A and B are shown apart, each in its own frame.
Chain A
Amino acid sequence: MTPPLEKERIKQMKVTSSSFKENTRDALSNPTLQNSLKRLHTGFVSSRSRAAARMPEFELLRDQARDIKDHVLAHLDVYLEKFELQCQAHGGHVHWCRDENHAKDVVLDICQKANAKTVTKGKSMIGEEIAINDHLEANGIEPIETDLGEYIIQLRNEPPSHIIAPATHVSKEQVADVFRLTHSDLDPARNLDEPDNILAEARAMLRNRYMEADVGITGANFLVAETGSSIIVTNEGNGDLTQTLPRVHIVLASIEKIVPTLLDATALLRVLARSATGQEMSSYTTFSTGPKRDTDVDGPSEYHVILLDNGRSDLLDSEFKEMLRCIRCGACLNHCPVYGAIGGHAYGWVYPGPMGSVLSPGLIGLQNTKHLPQASTLCGKCEEVCPVRIPLPLLLRNWRFLIYDRGLTDRKLAFGLSIWAYLAKRPMLYHLVVRWLIRVLALGARKKGRYKYLPGLKAWTQTRDFPAPQGKTFMQQWR
């Protein structure tokens, strides 16, 4: 096995994954967040399970989805080049971008050549990954998020907390507050109590911005090699307005988004929405192939596709390869009891939850992110619901092997483990030692059967009693 990514990539976007423990404490003591998490968990989880139950062939479809992705990953070079040729044949431009900075420069260059002042944006996790908004702003171009969730967090100046529901941590009262603050020219007495009012106001504000924008940037759920098309799915239709109204359309995509054919894309679309929101299809599924043709009524006059690597080709050649099957449905986040306890921000970078805990170390290095693969009980729920059957617990454990091998394990823990291992490998000594240890532990709690406090196990006894052993070990008592 080759440990991938020996060099730690330097990111400009603020990564707070190294303060995971502090982030966790903040999240657990934030009542608004805890309320939102409860809703998210019950909502998405039950919709997915109903959607899966309605479709008898759902499990077979997951196998098919996995196989399509594996096939693509085994022939990624071929399909990427095919995509490039097809895209160019339809008048599009393809930009191969090695890393984050390269991609940002290419996007900025396209925007500057178009004399862009404002840029509308559909939801794009790649946009978050390369922090494109910051880069555009720094260069005098105003990015405007058009997905409602993204728009809200842009106004609140914070990163997304979920890959498909970026503002899931925000309450509707908080949305009303930030709207009143930023849409300051509207009637202060207006009603923003109901989600419908909030939505209507966002629509009204965004409508003009679509018209003004010089460039529209979207993500891509899939890129189709046989046709050179990009596909996005949305529930608000904002992606369509973002990509058809401005003169220039830029698609931000990472290299593993490729699928061979339209048929393959439909197979993946069938598992995507069901796994994500429990819908059979998203409200909008939009295909774009090149710029506006002479016969088209509308559409951009330039069409660019950014193909971002940013560490993915290293993953392709590693024990984390299966992570590149991910279609970003968010099911692993929705079902993860750890994500459900702390939400997305605690993970400290753009990709939270189980998928993020595997992907982030691969993209931004293990040094900053070493908590993420460790902060899991490996309960396996994520793998159970993953539409492309990524063995997430195994991949998390693979990171743990690297964390241990590189000496990044917590010192006290590593010391304790080495003693345990030393004993476990010497049964006679082990039985002798544990016999006494257990005897002492049992005697100390003879009456109550449990400890309210145990030095050395404070992390446990702070919040839970520690059940005491019964007395003699089994091996001691066995005939």
Chain B
Amino acid sequence: MSSSQPNVALFVTCLVDLFRPSVGFATVKLMEEAGCKVSVPNSQTCCGQPTYNSGDRKNTVQIARQVIQTFEHYDYVVAPSGSCTGMIKEHYPRLFEGVPSWHEKSLNLASRIYELTSFLVDVLGVAGVSGTYAAKTTYHDSCSGLRELGIKEQPRKLLAGIEGLKTEEYDGAETCCGFGGMFCIKYSEISDKMATDRIDQLTSTGAEILLGGDLGCLINLAGKLKRKGSFIQVRHVAEILAGMTDDPAVGEGKN
């Protein structure tokens, strides 16, 4: 590892790549500003959660091998998602139990991969980012980030540096929004009930903006908010931290 400038690969994650590339660019900006040399290996696709959580172990193992190889030669790998990071950090080593060579490689990647806010705070020691954004926000802690990776304070610590931004915590912040990957399609009624409960809770804070670190949850909550005609905007925390809020919020049009 070069001592001055860590060589960091961005794992953009499939949802950010497909639905909200601006989060990817915000992530790159944040890492570059923190002094990293950022690369984006183009053999990346998805972490394999859709197959893994649907019980398809064989395909998951093949996808995992590809991810491990793609990110083999970087000091760190950073993803703007707790869910995909959790998959690689917590679950890849499990997938390769009993296959020593791959198990070792998976542990090696697990030790180098971080979720964005955790990377900035826990690894780089960033104390806070500067910027101005006058708004009242509330934050949804996504389940995997919170419970698999212990991400709670990191995004809040970073947001505290943004001038004019206020964060009002809401009761359901740590309760699942009902996204759950395939769950939101397969059991859509239960999923909708969970999203509705979260919306009711977060609306009561009077926040204008809902922030979070995982696009899956944000797409789900934004979809419900917009269906209910709410004016609450939904954004990934990286957008605010990087000062990149020119693009419309999740699920909103250009005007």
**Quick one: which of B179-206 are within 8 Å of A by CB?**
179-195, 197
Chain B residues whose CB sits within 8 angstroms of the CB of A457 once the complex forms? 185
Query: CA–CA, A462 to B191, complex, Å?
Result: 12
Q: How far is the CB of B71 from chain A (nearest CB, A)?
A: 13
Chain A residues whose CB sits within 8 angstroms of the CB of B194 once the complex forms? 337-338, 341, 377
Whether B222 sits at the interface, judged by CB under 8 Å, is yes
Interface segment, B52-60, B109-117, B128-136? B52-60
One of A464, A473, A477 near B227 (C-beta < 8 A)? A464
Q: How far is the CB of A161 from chain B (nearest CB, A)?
A: 16
Q: How far is the CB of B8 from chain A (nearest CB, A)?
A: 14
Whether A449 sits at the interface, judged by CB under 8 Å, is yes
Query: CA–CA, A374 to B182, complex, Å?
Result: 9
Contact B45 A430, beta carbon cutoff 8 Å: yes
Contact A377 B45, beta carbon cutoff 8 Å: no
Contact B44 A427, beta carbon cutoff 8 Å: yes
Q: How far is the CB of A2 from chain B (nearest CB, A)?
A: 14
Query: CA–CA, A375 to B53, complex, Å?
Result: 11
* Chain A 407-441 interface 0/1 with B at a Cβ cutoff of 8 Å (1 = within): 00110011001101101110100110010001000
Contact B59 A376, beta carbon cutoff 8 Å: no
Not counting A377-B191, A463-B227, a sample of 5 additional A-B residue pairs whose C-beta atoms are within 8 angstroms of each other reads A449-B252, A449-B254, A450-B222, A452-B227, A462-B192
Whether B104 sits at the interface, judged by CB under 8 Å, is no
Contact A465 B42, beta carbon cutoff 8 Å: no
Contact A375 B187, beta carbon cutoff 8 Å: yes
Whether B46 sits at the interface, judged by CB under 8 Å, is yes
Give 19 A-B contacts (CB < 8 Å), ordered by A residue.
A338-B187, A341-B194, A378-B180, A380-B147, A381-B143, A397-B53, A420-B46, A421-B63, A424-B46, A434-B18, A438-B18, A446-B254, A459-B185, A463-B188, A464-B220, A467-B226, A469-B20, A472-B21, A475-B44
Contact A465 B190, beta carbon cutoff 8 Å: no
Query: CA–CA, A300 to B43, complex, Å?
Result: 73
Interface segment, A98-106, A211-219, A398-406? A398-406
Chain A minimum-CB-distance residue to B234: A467
Contact A401 B19, beta carbon cutoff 8 Å: no
Contact A427 B22, beta carbon cutoff 8 Å: no
Question: Quick one: given A377-B143, A401-B57, are A465 and B51 in contact (CB under 8 Å)?
Answer: no
Whether A28 sits at the interface, judged by CB under 8 Å, is yes
**Quick one: which of A453-479 are within 8 Å of B by CB?**
457, 459-460, 462-475, 477-478
Contact B51 A379, beta carbon cutoff 8 Å: no
Query: CA–CA, A468 to B222, complex, Å?
Result: 11
Contact A417 B12, beta carbon cutoff 8 Å: no
Chain A minimum-CB-distance residue to B44: A427
* Number of residue pairs spanning A and B whose beta carbons lie under 8 angstroms apart: 211
Query: CA–CA, A418 to B56, complex, Å?
Result: 9
Chain A residues whose CB sits within 8 angstroms of the CB of B7 once the complex forms? none
Whether A11 sits at the interface, judged by CB under 8 Å, is no
Query: CA–CA, A383 to B147, complex, Å?
Result: 9
Question: Quick one: given A425-B62, A447-B253, A467-B251, are A474 and B176 in contact (CB under 8 Å)?
Answer: no
* Chain B 7-28 interface 0/1 with A at a Cβ cutoff of 8 Å (1 = within): 0000010101111111011000
Query: CA–CA, A410 to B226, complex, Å?
Result: 30
Contact A431 B20, beta carbon cutoff 8 Å: no
Chain B residues whose CB sits within 8 angstroms of the CB of A190 once the complex forms? none
Contact B186 A374, beta carbon cutoff 8 Å: yes
Whether A113 sits at the interface, judged by CB under 8 Å, is no
Chain B residues whose CB sits within 8 angstroms of the CB of A473 once the complex forms? 17-18, 21
Question: Quick one: given A397-B53, A474-B12, are A469 and B190 in contact (CB under 8 Å)?
Answer: no
Contact B12 A379, beta carbon cutoff 8 Å: no
Contact B42 A464, beta carbon cutoff 8 Å: no
Contact A413 B186, beta carbon cutoff 8 Å: yes
One of B63, B192, B252, B254 near A464 (C-beta < 8 A)? B192
Query: CA–CA, A399 to B53, complex, Å?
Result: 10
B residues contacting A by CB (< 8 A) are 12, 14, 16-22, 24-25, 40, 42-46, 48, 50-57, 59, 62-63, 66, 94, 143-144, 147-148, 175-176, 178-195, 197, 219-220, 222-224, 226-227, 247-248, 250-255
Question: Quick one: given A400-B54, A423-B45, are A28 and B193 in contact (CB under 8 Å)?
Answer: yes
**Quick one: which of A352-388 are within 8 Å of B by CB?**
374-381, 383-384
One of B54, B188, B251 near A450 (C-beta < 8 A)? B251
One of B43, B63, B147, B190 near A384 (C-beta < 8 A)? B147
Whether A333 sits at the interface, judged by CB under 8 Å, is no
Q: How far is the CB of B128 from chain A (nearest CB, A)?
A: 26
Chain B minimum-CB-distance residue to A38: B197
Question: Quick one: given A460-B185, A463-B224, A465-B251, are A474 and B59 in contact (CB under 8 Å)?
Answer: no
Query: CA–CA, A474 to B25, complex, Å?
Result: 8
Question: Quick one: given A397-B55, A469-B19, are A337 and B254 in contact (CB under 8 Å)?
Answer: no
Contact A478 B40, beta carbon cutoff 8 Å: yes
Q: How far is the CB of B226 from chain A (nearest CB, A)?
A: 4
Whether A448 sits at the interface, judged by CB under 8 Å, is yes
Chain B residues whose CB sits within 8 angstroms of the CB of A424 once the complex forms? 14, 45-46, 48, 51, 59, 63
Q: How far is the CB of A341 from chain B (nearest CB, A)?
A: 4
Question: Quick one: given A438-B18, A467-B19, are A337 and B227 in contact (CB under 8 Å)?
Answer: no
Question: Quick one: given A25-B189, A413-B186, A469-B19, are A427 and B42 in contact (CB under 8 Å)?
Answer: yes
Q: How far is the CB of A402 from chain B (nearest CB, A)?
A: 7
Query: CA–CA, A475 to B43, complex, Å?
Result: 10
Q: Which 7 A-B pairs have the closest CB atoms?
A: A377-B180, A404-B55, A467-B251, A400-B55, A474-B21, A464-B223, A379-B176
Contact B190 A341, beta carbon cutoff 8 Å: yes
Query: CA–CA, A29 to B135, complex, Å?
Result: 37
Query: CA–CA, A459 to B16, complex, Å?
Result: 22
Chain A minimum-CB-distance residue to B181: A377
Contact A380 B55, beta carbon cutoff 8 Å: no
Q: How far is the CB of A427 from chain B (nearest CB, A)?
A: 4
Chain B minimum-CB-distance residue to A422: B59
Q: How far is the CB of A123 from chain B (nearest CB, A)?
A: 28
Question: Quick one: given A449-B253, A463-B227, are A378 and B53 in contact (CB under 8 Å)?
Answer: yes
Contact B20 A470, beta carbon cutoff 8 Å: yes
Contact B178 A377, beta carbon cutoff 8 Å: yes
Chain B residues whose CB sits within 8 angstroms of the CB of A409 once the complex forms? 54-55
Contact A341 B193, beta carbon cutoff 8 Å: yes
Chain A residues whose CB sits within 8 angstroms of the CB of B195 once the complex forms? 464
